[in-house]
Structure 1
Amino acid sequence: MSAQKPPSKARRRTALIGVITAVALGALFFSAFSVITDAGRGDGPARLERMAYFAEWNTANRDYLLKDVADSGAAERLTRIIWAFGDVDSDGRCSIPEDSDQPWELYQRRYDADESVDGQADSYEQPIAGSLHQLLLLREEYPDLRVGLSLGGWNWSTYFSDAVKDEESRREFVSSCIDLWLRGDLPRLGDEPQGGEGVAEGAFDGIDIDWEWPVSGGKEGNVERPEDRRNLTLVVEEFRRQMDELGAETGERYDLSVSVANGEEQIPASYEPEMFAKVDFVTVQGYDFTGAWSDVTDHHSQLYAPPGAPDDASTDRTVRQYLDYGLPADKLVLGFPAFGRGWTGVGPDDFGRYSQAEAGAEGSYGESTDPYGELKYRSGQRFFDPVNGAYWLYDGNEWWTYDTPEIVRMKGAYVRELNLGGLMMWNLDMDPEGDLVTAMDESLRRDG
């Protein structure tokens, strides 16, 4: 995603004076803001979504298990988990790549008792093991928790355009996704006994389309067509049709959602407004407005743009563009990050905010990225801007911007004020102690 052009320093300084004052009086300002915001909210949707992504590859990479989702308290606080990601293969079908670790981690790996949601060790012959079996156990323990399977993402959107290019391809693509993820028909691979028809049924009750991004703007090498925008709407309609047929057969309700981009020009280029009528909700990325691809520090998930820089990218600006574009407020689920973006070689002016940087900071979670679970323990000066909904850390050289529980509560108040559909967090292993999930839950509960 392209970096946003920062406003001039002269304009920034005007806003910063008020921010530093606000930092000194942070708790007072935030309390006042919360009271004012809540007093003006409407009734909104019947249930405010409190959802978070589970990045299944981090079970292997970071030893983050579904048991941790339960133990942290996140499972009882969430209304929905979105599972990332399902592959769209070169034939335009939903599949589990055989040449990857996904089959093993997803449904063949046997869990020891101390790893398992129910405290019981897996047996060798059971028809489904791995994280999908753990998900089924989690859903038994939390029967109100819904789970959607997200298709694509940054790395697996390569062939989305092929999958939806015409009526026949759309029909076969959707059918393959429903068979694999909703009916739970898993392939038997190698000499492992796991897999078979219906063994994963009940793991998922929704499909999320995370095509990054229709028409253009995604990862290098993605197949792109000018018709992608229209074809996305048509495949949404096909998903809705086939999922409704499945629901009539099983008596279950299946949710359909789309994850969408936040680029000002990308929104009208990638999405048709009529698509929104066919989905249950839309998750909007309220983050990655900037990052180390820019040589000037800036907030990547601020709620509002500072008064001196009204054109700066912000959550509010993105939300209002979608509302103006026809997305119903109660279907808009606002995403926030459980990670920060960082820069190094940042001078002391303005406490590093809106300052020239030498490069992106070294992060433990990808390029110039650190999870909240590590950032909250980093040393340095911390600054909370309760007026614009932003937070940063500066240690004299490195500058990091990220969301904290205070910021998440502000965004929860914002959701209620605008009668939006809820909040979504990317992703759970970045918030291992559940601080951000707790703030999300507390800020959105009707009885809170």
Structure 2
Amino acid sequence: MLTFINYAFGNIYQKNGGYECGIITKAEPGATNPDAPDAGSGGDGWADYQKGFSANESVNGKSDAWDFPQGDPRIGKAGPLKGNFNQLKQLKAKYPNLKVMISLGGWTWSRWFGKAATTDALRKQLVSSCINVYVKGNIPFDAGSNAGGDGIAADVFDGIDIDWEFPGGGGQPYNAVDPNDKQNFTLLLAEFRKQLDAIGAQNGKRYLLTVAIGSGGDKIASTVPGEYSKSLDWINVMSYDFHGGWEAAGPTDFQSNLYADPESPNVKAGGNGASYTVDAAVRNLLNAGVPASKIVVGIPLYGRGWTGVTPGPKGDGLYQKATKPAPGKYETGIEDYKILKGKAGTAYEHPVAKQSYKFDGTTFWSYDSAATIRTKVDYVKSLNLRGVFGWELDGDGPNAELLNVMGEVNK
């Protein structure tokens, strides 16, 4: 059912007087302390290409090799590809129509985009380094796992996805923000397109370039979509996380609704809050000059919630006060669909906002069910948009029940 997989995330580091893609293994300090001096500097090279998968774990049923065959001149200088990179490569061999993208940045690792995009020289340095690592496959040799080396990760990735969260600010407090982010975002993507086309001309392949963007009106206004989209194959609109447990006292509201509900306190308040719907994001991009064929709507495979919620006049907890984020398996305020679907409570489908929600008398969850996803798929098809994507794959229920509905976009 999958046409593309985005592998997330790759990080960017201060290096050689500028900023470059690289792969290291280091626990992320910003995950627990965003004020740490080295926040945003982590990496997981072990998972990426060093971990040896056993036969019963791997896609092709074979264990990752420890070394090259005897007599191979690379022995001692490089090691076979292992880890997730090798599994992705095997997956592509099994399903030849599948393409894999490397996503750079994300919520935690967007620290240096605002610096790396400031000058032509810095942009060229960053883009060249990312192509070197993820397209040419020149990954650091790790002697301990005997993995990596020049060219070892070639042919894993078919393109690059830039997930700068966010040009103009609004991401992690440690992120660099430049007054010219709006223009620099366009220039950075143009440089990626230029260098990807250049290496593609050398090896007879066209490499994809995409972005993931914030969907609020403020985020879209911080860039020039009509211009930067010219460099892209498509835009992944992160049309979720509209409301959640960070608004600890509520009111409860939807996190990924298709349309605005006039009864929502956030809509009634006016301002930017009313722009946080899927439809508003899509209309903003279309009005900014983005072709419909370059817009991909994001669907969360998780929910966001609050607890200490008062039932309210309708008894469903919607638009009511709360005391704190709801308990979650991995972190407060968030829960995978596969867990959420079995939680106690009454499930509802909002007729106006087109969002599912669940309330058990004290805990409220907003999420996408198969029914609301089907509504979004129909919406995408009605506007001839590019398609849909989900974040993230392992949040789905048994037998890929949500992904099955998402796949209807191609029917």
**TM score, norm. by length of structure 1:** 0.80
- Is the Cα contact below 8 Å between 1:88 and 1:159 reproduced in 2? yes
**For residues 238-277 of structure 1, what are the structure 2 equivalents within 5 Å?**
238-277=191-230
2:406 corresponds in structure 1 to 440
Kindly indicate whether residue 12 of structure 2 is the aligned counterpart of residue 85 of structure 1: no
Q: How far is 1:84 from its partner?
A: 0.5
Which of 302, 318, 322 lines up with 2:257 in the alignment?
302
Unaligned runs of 5+ in 2: 28-42, 69-79
Unaligned runs of 5+ in 1: 1-76
Q: Which has the larger helix fraction?
A: 1
Q: Distance in 1 between matches of 2:355 and 2:327?
A: 21
Q: Distance in 1 between matches of 2:293 and 2:330?
A: 33
Q: Distance in 2 between matches of 1:388 and 1:161?
A: 35
Please list the CA deviations of residues 34-66 of structure 1 after superposition, one character each: whole Å capped at 9, or x if unmatched.
xxxxxxxxxxxxxxxxxxxxxxxxxxxxxxxxx
**TM score, norm. by length of structure 2:** 0.87
Which of 93, 118, 124 lines up with 1:171 in the alignment?
124
**For residues 36-435 of structure 1, what are the structure 2 equivalents within 5 Å?**
77-91=1-15, 92-100=19-27, 102-126=44-68, 127-294=80-247, 295-309=250-264, 312=274, 313-349=276-312, 350=314, 351-431=316-396, 433=398, 434-435=400-401
The secondary structure found in structure 1 opposite 2:156 is coil
- Is the Cα contact below 8 Å between 1:185 and 1:201 reproduced in 2? yes
Q: How far is 1:387 from its partner?
A: 4.2
> Which one-letter code corresponds to 1:390 in the other structure?
Q
Percent identical across equivalent pairs?
39
The secondary structure found in structure 1 opposite 2:166 is coil
> Which one-letter code corresponds to 1:150 in the other structure?
S
Q: Distance in 2 between matches of 1:265 and 1:432?
A: 33
Q: Distance in 2 between matches of 1:334 and 1:384?
A: 20
> Which one-letter code corresponds to 1:161 in the other structure?
G
Q: Distance in 2 between matches of 1:171 and 1:241?
A: 10
Tell me which of the two structures has the higher relative contact order, counting C-alpha pairs closer than 8 angstroms and 6 or more residues apart: 1
> Which one-letter code corresponds to 2:49 in the other structure?
Y
Q: Distance in 2 between matches of 1:266 and 1:163?
A: 19
The secondary structure found in structure 1 opposite 2:371 is helix
Q: Distance in 1 between matches of 2:132 and 2:383?
A: 38
Q: Distance in 2 between matches of 1:441 and 1:320?
A: 23
- Is the Cα contact below 8 Å between 2:25 and 2:46 reproduced in 1? no
Q: Distance in 2 between matches of 1:130 and 1:399?
A: 38
Aligned-pair RMSD on alpha carbons?
1.4
Q: Which has the larger strand fraction?
A: 2
Number of residues of Structure 1 aligned to a counterpart in Structure 2: 369
Q: How far is 1:308 from its partner?
A: 4.0
- Is the Cα contact below 8 Å between 1:152 and 1:211 reproduced in 2? yes
Q: How far is 1:432 from its partner?
A: 5.1
The change in CA–CA distance for 1:388 and 1:98 in structure 2 (over 3 A counts) is closer
Q: How far is 1:364 from its partner?
A: 1.5
Q: Distance in 1 between matches of 2:352 and 2:220?
A: 27
